Amino acid sequence: MKLHGTQRVNEQGHLEIGGCDTVELAKQFGTPLYIMDEAHMRDICRQYYRSFVEDLENAEVIYASKAFSTLAMCRIIDSEGLGLDVVSGGELYTALQADFPVARIYFHGNNKSREELTMAIKAGVGRIVVDNFYEMSVLNDLAQELNLRVDILLRVTPGIEAHTHEYIQTGQIDSKFGFTLPDGTADRAFDLALSYSNLVVKGIHAHIGSQIFELDSFRHEVQIMINYMADINGRTDFLLQELNLGGGFGIYYATGDDPAQISDYAKTVEDALEDACRKRNFPRPKIIVEPGRSIVGTAGTTLYTIGSIKEIPGVRKYVAVDGGMADNPRPALYQARYEAVLANQAVEETTETVSVTGKCCESGDMLIWDIELPKAKAGDLLAVSCTGAYNYSMSSNYNRLTRPGVVLVEEGYADVIVKRETHSDLLRNDVLPARLNYLKMASR
């Protein structure tokens, strides 16, 4: 397994993260457990800040909180000077409860409810990214009722296919998101937005996909978007001043993944921007990027305890852990690949090929197919790396499994930032109607 951030193997041969021995973490907090490496996340935030905010002329970095949203995470993002992208009332609520500076919050989503929009307007979020005609008119009505003007970006679908897994492409034309650019829908949206009295159009937004390795995709995106901004300016004289390029920068999960450097990503954007603006004689807009996965992905590790092991001679050896698709649905959803190590024997030589399965009642509940491990036995700890993004945030209670806790580790300290769920948490919202009362049922 490739080591990330502060991960290292200590003298006892145990995996250590943030100066904390994972064997001790398992004893103290139980498993499964999500472990987030604070120094590593901060280091990545700083790379983004340096490469975009400091090195480019007018740029902002917005963390896409869908990747991992908790109160503590909002605080870390705020303290690193980044903004926040939220896509639901729940993510917005989390940010507000963390006292995240509202002016740096961007509110996205293709079907925001009236309640969510009202919440965002009242809170005074920095930008609402308007996705469709229905939302535009509802938003204007709500803003009018509240006697407020709202700063918006228009989400457009530029028609780019980023080279990534087809399920997570969002920039191509056949997409539920945004106003289609090539067929003129975006023009209509823009004209309409200008006619609404309570909306202030600041710029445009696009997101071309996720887990993108080819920087060329971003270059292409910048070209298309600047051309479009220049076209609008030519047609209407209106100057769009902000260009939000979305997220999508890819990370390492397993052998074969070869992500670019964040600084090269920024340079690609900068070069493309300079070139496109010069060609169209268009004034350089403010640039916004919205990384999610690349900020938290490699900072997360999930720690499991190995239980049953089933060997089918000549076929496969299944090693089962105490979690699975409920805490990490990505292998089942996207055929995502992960690497792992025995956390209590991280220096041992790998001796066998096994497949790691979860404990859900589904054959598809596989975490890793064909991985090399030392001979594992029940009670060993398995650490799966790069689980910081879209794991906790996509976890479920399938099979009524309780969600793992999340600990934030840093220089030998481990702080719980999300408590492990208990069985009673599972029943928190269950209601037994009176007619299912045992006495009444018996009398039937």
**Per CB under 6 A, 108 contacts ligand LLP:** yes
Q: Which of residues 2-61 bind ligand LLP (CB under 6 A)?
A: none
Catalytic residue of the set 45, 277, 360, 361: 361
**Per CB under 6 A, 186 contacts ligand LLP:** no
Closest distance to ligand LLP from the beta carbon of 384 (Å): 14
CA distance 20 to 398: 30
**Per CB under 6 A, 202 contacts ligand LLP:** no
Q: If we measure between CA atoms, which residue out of 292, 304, 281 comes closest to residue 385? A: 304
CA distance 326 to 399: 8
Q: If we measure between CA atoms, which residue out of 399, 55, 72, 11 comes closest to residue 63? A: 72
Strands 242-244 and 286-289: parallel
Q: How buried is residue 351: exposed, middle or buried, by Cβ count under 10 Å (0-12/13-18/19+)?
A: exposed
Q: Which is nearer to ligand LLP, 293 or 359 (CB)?
A: 293
Q: How far is CA 147 from the centre of its chain?
A: 34
Q: Is the Cα dihedral 142, 144, 150, 152 positive or negative?
A: positive
CA distance 48 to 66: 18
**Per CB under 6 A, 104 contacts ligand LLP:** no
Q: Which is nearer to ligand LLP, 15 or 67 (CB)?
A: 67
CB 364 within 8 A of CB 410: no
Contacts of residue 391, defined as CB under 8 A and 6 or more positions apart, other chains included, come to: 34, 68, 300, 302, 327, 328, 330
Q: Which of residues 315-344 bind ligand LLP (CB under 6 A)?
A: 330, 334
Q: Which of 171, 291, 300, 331 binds ligand LLP (CB under 6 A)?
A: 291
Closest distance to ligand LLP from the beta carbon of 322 (Å): 22
- Candidates 42-50, 189-197, 203-211, 402-410: pick the segment binding ligand LLP (CB under 6 A): 203-211
**Per CB under 6 A, 142 contacts ligand LLP:** no
Q: Which of 294, 298, 357, 387 binds ligand LLP (CB under 6 A)?
A: 294
Binding mask 233-262 for ligand LLP (x = CB under 6 A): -------------xxxx-------------
Q: Which of 78, 80, 85, 270 binds ligand LLP (CB under 6 A)?
A: 85
Query: At 170, is the secondary structure helix, strand, or coil?
Result: coil
Question: Is 277 an annotated catalytic residue?
Answer: no
Q: Which of 162, 390, 392, 395 binds ligand LLP (CB under 6 A)?
A: 390
Residues that bind ligand LLP (CB under 6 A): 64, 67, 85, 108, 168, 170, 207, 210-211, 246-249, 290-294, 330, 334, 390
User: So which residues are the catalytic ones?
Assistant: 361
